[in-house]
Amino acid sequence: MGRRRLRQFGVMMLLIAAAAGRVRADEGAPPVDALSTKQQMIRDRLARLEDRMFRLREKLSTTEPENAQRLEAALEQAGALDVKARIDRLVEALRDHGTLDKPIAEQEQLLADLEAVMGVLLDRNPDDAHRREELKRLAEIKENLDRVIDEQIEQRRAAARTLQAKRLAKRIGDAARALEKLKNDQADLADDASKEKNNEQPDGQPQAAEQEKLAERAERLQREVEQLSRRLGDLKAADAPEKPAGDSPDEPGNTPQDSQPAPGEQTPGPLDDAAQDVEGAKDGMQRAADQQKAGKPDAAEPEQRDAIEKIERAIHRLQEEQQKLDPDADSDQAAEDQRRIAGEAQRLSEQMQPKSADEQGQQGQPQDGSQQGQQGEQGDQQKQPRQLQQKPSPGQENVQRAREHMDDAAEKLDDKDTEQAILEQDKALDELDRAKRELEETLKQLRKEEQEEVLASLEARLRDMLEKQTAINTETQPLTELGADNFTRAETLKCADLADRQRAVSEAAGTGVRLLQEDGTTVVFPNILQQLADDTQTIADRLAAAQVGPLTTAMQADAQAVLTELLESLKKLREKMQQDKQAGGGGGGGAGASAPLVPTSAELKLLKSSQVRINRATAAAEEAARKDDNAADVAAMLKRAAAQQQDLVEMARGIQERAEKEMQP
């Protein structure tokens, strides 16, 4: 009984908050005295509510101490917030006939404070705020961690490219030296051939054999230089900035000649020219060998000299490219960049450290610095879970170790030891990855706890709404059977009472919508609940106007069916979560910090049920039209069905977009 009364008080507090919001929304109304009167009515209603809460607390102190404590906490919070005095000041401010800017700002703050008091009455866990703060803090840490990881990955890639450049430069140097030796050997062979020309019967066969060997060496070096050219092209392509998305050869200024070549189709460069020189030298050497075999040493000599010149050009080109690579030229900048990332990791590690008691004591202090507010905040700190106050953020030690490896990598880069720097960078990335996994696991757990609280609160709210809606429907039926034309004052007053109770259901549905919107992971559930809030408000308006015909009762029956469906869906979902929790599982598709509050499968079932209800409503409207029933009611039914159908289209689109997003890597 006590818990139910607490919920009733919570709903009353919600109505008071909503009324305060309506007063604020009426800021453009000319008669300011009317606004003052409304504000005073809210103050009186709040005073009566507090009086009833005091009396109930006394009754529950022995039989239901837990609920009595909840009432006491709500009363203490209302007292600490000085709600009544603030409303009195609002009344005076509105009577002042001055600017409404200050009253509007105060009403905004008062509305938020009344919502907080209402949260105590509606079974909101006092640790919810701390959990939300922790989720927000850890999400911010994860965002910073992801940025550090991305920067470190890029730094590691740059170091890998530098190492590749070093190795390539060494191979180019080796090729240049091999060509230098080939050139010298070719020059020596040419000199020997020149000396033997004076022999009366020169034997060109040995010279030809040696010349062919040199040609074979030139062919091997040609292949080596060609391979080096491809490696250099790949290295330059990796260093080149990515082409912006949307650029294509068909766009102006993007002709096929201007577009970048595909991998393996690099534009010819100096090493390709060197390879062609070596190939030309090889061909010349082979021709020289053929001339020597034919006993024509004079014809072989020009070919040999031409081969030497081509090899010299190839050597020069290789040396130029080796000089351009100069992989150690940017090592100082690389070390500086690595130290900058290490500094970011250090700041992240400090962000992940637990806050001191002084820092915690400064959080949430009231702006007026009142002693009572400070005591309330100290009480909150004592209730705050210990792990949120003292335990470092998950992964903090890993981030600290990663920072140490980054410092070591920077030192290795200073020493031009790129290979060892990469090893340290890999260790840093491994630690950062461990930190990320720990952080994601904690976020997942906190998110799951938050979802359990939200679902429990939502289920309790829906159950209470269903009880109220069922009672309203039952009490409306006799009025419908009697007919508005036969109403006496008693029936008219009854309609007014039912209208007020129906508005309470609508307000509760609206609060449920806000609860789901704060979560922000569901598509169908909040939309259906918003439709319910709108429909029940329409029902309330019709009841207030004593319109208790078939349309009203049909909408009431539909509201009851929607509440039953939503409640049943939540019950099954919570049972599934409880089973997964007991089994030690991850909750099926609920893995990850961004798992939706309501799974897609459950939302699709709700979507289908909504479509079935729209179909029934459309059929009912058509039947009413054939019977020549009230044309205005028929038009209203069709208009409502059309609006709900459009909402369903948007919901289906939202589910599709979410599914596509989840499928993205």
Domain endpoint, select from 325, 346, 363? 325
Q: Are 159 and 406 in contact (CB under 8 A)?
A: no
Token output for 476: 């409306």
pLDDT the model gives residue 24:
45
pLDDT the model gives residue 523:
75
Q: At what angle do helices 489-519 and 418-482 cross, to 10 degrees?
A: 170
- The verdict on 102 and 201 lying in the same domain is no
The CA distances from residue 299 to 88, 283, 290, 629, in Å, are 117, 14, 10, 116
Report yes or no on 54 lying in a domain: yes
Q: Are 435 and 134 in contact (CB under 8 A)?
A: no
For residue 152, count other CB atoms closer than 10 A to its CB. Answer: 24
Condensed to tens digits (0 to 9), the pLDDT of residues 208-247 reads: 888 888 889 888 988 888 888 888 888 777 766 554 444 4
Report yes or no on 193 lying in a domain: yes
Closest to 77 measured CA to CA, from 337, 282, 269, 364: 364
- Does 30 score more than 50 pLDDT? no
Query: If pLDDT is split at 50, 70 and 90, which confidence band does 103 have?
Result: low
- The verdict on 99 and 184 lying in the same domain is no
Condensed to tens digits (0 to 9), the pLDDT of residues 247-306 reads: 444 444 443 444 445 544 556 788 888 888 899 988 988 898 888 888 787 888 888 889
pLDDT the model gives residue 127:
60
Distance separating alpha carbons of residues 130 and 39, to the nearest angstrom: 33
Token output for 613: 């209800």
Largest CA-CA distance found in the chain, in angstroms, rounded: 147
What distance lies between CA 79 and its chain's CA centroid?
Answer: 39
- Does 382 score more than 80 pLDDT? no
DSSP classification of residue 261: P
Q: Are 171 and 228 in contact (CB under 8 A)?
A: yes
Gyration radius (Cα) of the chain, Å: 41
Closest to 165 measured CA to CA, from 335, 314, 330: 330
- The verdict on 59 and 178 lying in the same domain is no
- The verdict on 475 and 578 lying in the same domain is yes
pLDDT the model gives residue 439:
92
- The verdict on 90 and 199 lying in the same domain is no
**Section 619-625 average pLDDT:** 75
Q: What is the amino acid identity at position 279? A: E
- Does 571 score more than 80 pLDDT? yes
Distance separating alpha carbons of residues 67 and 4, to the nearest angstrom: 10
Distance separating alpha carbons of residues 55 and 90, to the nearest angstrom: 27
- The verdict on 639 and 499 lying in the same domain is yes
Report yes or no on 534 lying in a domain: yes
Domain endpoint, select from 325, 355, 374? 325
Query: If pLDDT is split at 50, 70 and 90, which confidence band does 22 have?
Result: very low
Token output for 453: 């609280």
- The verdict on 106 and 161 lying in the same domain is no
Report yes or no on 348 lying in a domain: no
Condensed to tens digits (0 to 9), the pLDDT of residues 126-173 reads: 566 777 788 888 999 999 999 999 999 999 998 988 888 888 888 888
Report yes or no on 494 lying in a domain: yes
pLDDT the model gives residue 121:
62
Q: Are 183 and 277 in contact (CB under 8 A)?
A: no
Distance separating alpha carbons of residues 492 and 499, to the nearest angstrom: 11
Token output for 224: 């080596």
**Section 544-559 average pLDDT:** 89
- The verdict on 110 and 176 lying in the same domain is no
Report yes or no on 441 lying in a domain: no
DSSP track, 606-653? HHHHHHHHHHHHHHHHHHHHHTT--HHHHHHHHHHHHHHHHHHHHHHH
DSSP track, 440-503? HHHHHHHHHHHHHHHHHHHHHHHHHHHHHHHHHHHHHHHHHHH-GGG--HHHHHHHHHHHHHHH
- Does 99 score more than 90 pLDDT? no
Q: What is the amino acid identity at position 156? A: R
- pLDDT above 70: percentage of residues in the chain: 72
pLDDT the model gives residue 247:
44
Q: How many domains does the chain have?
A: 3
- The verdict on 113 and 205 lying in the same domain is no
pLDDT the model gives residue 226:
86
Domain that holds residue 118: 2-124
Report yes or no on 119 lying in a domain: yes
The CA distances from residue 296 to 247, 282, 287, 363, 416, in Å, are 60, 19, 11, 99, 55
- pLDDT above 90: percentage of residues in the chain: 22
Task: Determine the 3-state secondary structure of 350 from DSSP.
Answer: helix
Task: Determine the 3-state secondary structure of 427 from DSSP.
Answer: helix
Residue environment code for 276-291, b if the CB has 16+ CB neighbours within 10 A, otherwise e: bbbbbbbbbbbbbbbb
Domain endpoint, select from 280, 307, 325? 325
The helix (run of H) or strand (run of E) holding residue 424 is helix 418-482
- The verdict on 162 and 39 lying in the same domain is no
The more confident residue out of 552 and 79 is 552
Condensed to tens digits (0 to 9), the pLDDT of residues 425-464 reads: 999 999 999 999 999 999 888 888 888 888 888 888 889 9
Q: Are 304 and 296 in contact (CB under 8 A)?
A: no
∠ CA 437-438-442, nearest 5°, is: 115
Residue with token string 């829906």: 462
Distance separating alpha carbons of residues 646 and 660, to the nearest angstrom: 21
Query: If pLDDT is split at 50, 70 and 90, which confidence band does 73 have?
Result: confident
pLDDT the model gives residue 437:
94
Across the chain, mean pLDDT equals 76
CATH number, domain containing residue 18: 1.20.120
Q: At what angle do helices 297-325 and 270-293 cross, to 10 degrees?
A: 160
pLDDT the model gives residue 364:
44
Q: What is the 3-state secondary structure (H, E, C) of 233-277?
A: HHHHHHHCCCCCCCCCCCCCCCCCCCCCCCCCCCCCCHHHHHHHH
Condensed to tens digits (0 to 9), the pLDDT of residues 7-19 reads: 555 545 544 554 4
pLDDT the model gives residue 664:
65
Distance separating alpha carbons of residues 371 and 388, to the nearest angstrom: 25
The more confident residue out of 642 and 58 is 642
Condensed to tens digits (0 to 9), the pLDDT of residues 305-344 reads: 898 999 899 999 888 888 887 766 667 888 999 999 999 9
